[in-house]
Chain A
């Protein structure tokens, strides 16, 4: 069965936790003891209905305040597909959590409150899906029960969303618009009588059927995680380079370049967990044994000789900043792309995006939750591609050298 990761985000009170609780409930992911627990809690709070949001908000402070603070990973499945929902808070101060939750998603559900329509947070979430290159965006207009399931209200919101998409939407992205009431289970699992004017699949059926896009980049690159050297007589000369294929496909006999040393060699043998195989594909782990006694260590890349990879010491990128200490010109950080690391210095910061107006404004500082553009100088060149061409080689994190916190994330535009 296929696995799809879907990001959701929403602001306080737009019913996101209820929607996810609903999906869990309807797909049978909530077990009897958990439902009993929700029944008891709902009754204790004086609700006349099942407060399904109680199924997801996992932290004490979240339950206290009735909001989502951190990304939660929620699992459910239908006979057709398995789902991991990365549920993140939608509020402006949690932009970084939204980026985090969305980073591994193949689709995104942007939730709107039918009474409020497109708000700033809708735009922010939309912008983040564009930044991450998510290929399927579902605009789910929730709380339709509070607007009498009105087609007019939905159409108005849809028009506003279409304007947003036309102006800022990337090519190659599919947009879906769907009205729902998570609280009353309308158009979630089954077509709704109350929304009989709506033509399209209910939400669950939609996320069951959207195609999962793969990284089609052909640049064949492998990143070395760990050198395996068994301390055994019979394997005295064994040096296995264990790692992961970021993109492309390797075959026994391939000529490779080792980055950053520039040395060349040939793949003599490929093993997967001790057993020989002929090929290794994107996303697969493997252990490569080379024809020559070359030096390679953790963080190095093996690149197929005919691949076009950028190796440079200057990077232009879009950043999302994730810590309190701002990113400023002259600051130093560790950059980590996959498993390769280099020290970097911020050379220039050009602009940040005003997420309300979706326009650039000039700045020389990126603060917590800012999204903006700038340039870095690297101490050591890394093997990359622009994010738009190859997501597996084009995204990186920035690590604060003092706190070691993950300070931000970057998306390479040019090397």
Chain B
């Protein structure tokens, strides 16, 4: 069995376990390449039936419009149910306080909205497209990661995960975060997108965009980022390697307009995937700290 087929089998097995073990699961869908891959795997897992759970999008309100367009297209095309949890609503309701200043981002605010959404819809399992190769705290995560009533990840009390046997038994109020593509790498995702001919948001491909350099990162100019007068704006050919909130996702200089170029580019890249994520750069343990309070 080729590596990629092996990974696909493993992921679909996990997705079917989620449908089999939980009453009310959902698939967290950001519109990025990883969640698009996950959605495709889920479609395969239940063919010819439709996916037996809804998509949940935690909307920071700072999305790339291209991502939302594709999200809505996929939902319509595959007859899916979409639930949107809005960070803006939580800001308006006073549940969270918007960060201020040049480095403000809504990334960490997502956690509250995610937890509220889980509670409102009583989800007992949330699948996400996180991968172990992304970040070292994620390398420690289980495939079935149990979160307590507060959504917290306790890294010292993780359930042992043996062989392919997944234990999804939980108490009322707890939920499980599930990571079916844990063992995939960034390149696996790209190869898979090419092999399965998946549509991804156009911002992954090189395009002309107005950007400015901040802390050695090419930040996109948008309504959601404070650009100082001293910041030098320029129009140049870039693409995005990850798709997060517009306020924390930096672009990379690129002329890769085709999947083949993108794969070549990543293969030869000197920088890690999340090197362009400002949310991770805040501290050595930025991801771990966010996970402990319920981040996905």
Contacts and interface: CB of A to CB of B under 8 A. Distances in A.
B123 interface: no
B46 A60 contact: no
A283 interface: yes
A298 to B, nearest CB: 5
B159 A405 contact: yes
A30 to B, nearest CB: 8
Contacts of B16: 225-226, 242-243, 285
Nearest to B169: A404
Contacts of A243: 16
Interface in A325-341: 334, 336-339
Contacts of A60: 285, 288-289
Which 3 A-B pairs rank lowest in CB-CB distance, beginning with the nearest?
Answer: A274-B47, A58-B136, A230-B49
B155 interface: yes
A3 B3 contact: yes
Interface stretch (A107-115, A142-150, A255-263, A394-402): A394-402
Given A72-B139, A230-B48, A334 B9 contact: no
A80 interface: no
Interface stretch (A96-104, A166-174, A357-365): A96-104
Interface stretch (A31-39, A183-191, A199-207): A31-39
A202 B270 CA distance: 26
Given A240-B49, A285-B9, 6 more contacts: A33-B272, A59-B288, A70-B158, A104-B163, A285-B13, A405-B159
B162 A395 contact: yes
B136 A72 contact: yes
Interface string B1-40: 1110011010011001101100000000000000000000
8 contacts: A3-B3, A31-B272, A57-B136, A61-B155, A100-B161, A225-B17, A397-B165, A399-B167
A82 B161 CA distance: 22
Report the contact-size class of chain B (Cβ under 8 Å from the partner). Answer: 35 or more
A337 B161 CA distance: 13
Contacts of A197: none
Contacts of B46: 226, 228, 242
B182 interface: yes
B148 interface: no
A322 interface: yes
A294 B47 CA distance: 21
Interface in A211-238: 225-226, 228-232, 235, 238
Contact of B163 (A97, A231, A395): A395
Given A100-B160, A406-B159, A397 B167 contact: yes
Nearest to B12: A285
Interface in A313-355: 322, 334, 336-339
Contacts of B156: 61, 69-70
A338 B164 contact: yes
Among B7, B167, B171, B289, find the residue whose CB has the most chain A CB atoms closer than 10 A: B167
A137 interface: no
Given A31-B272, A228-B46, A273-B44, A73 B163 contact: no
A195 interface: no
Interface in B32-80: 44-50
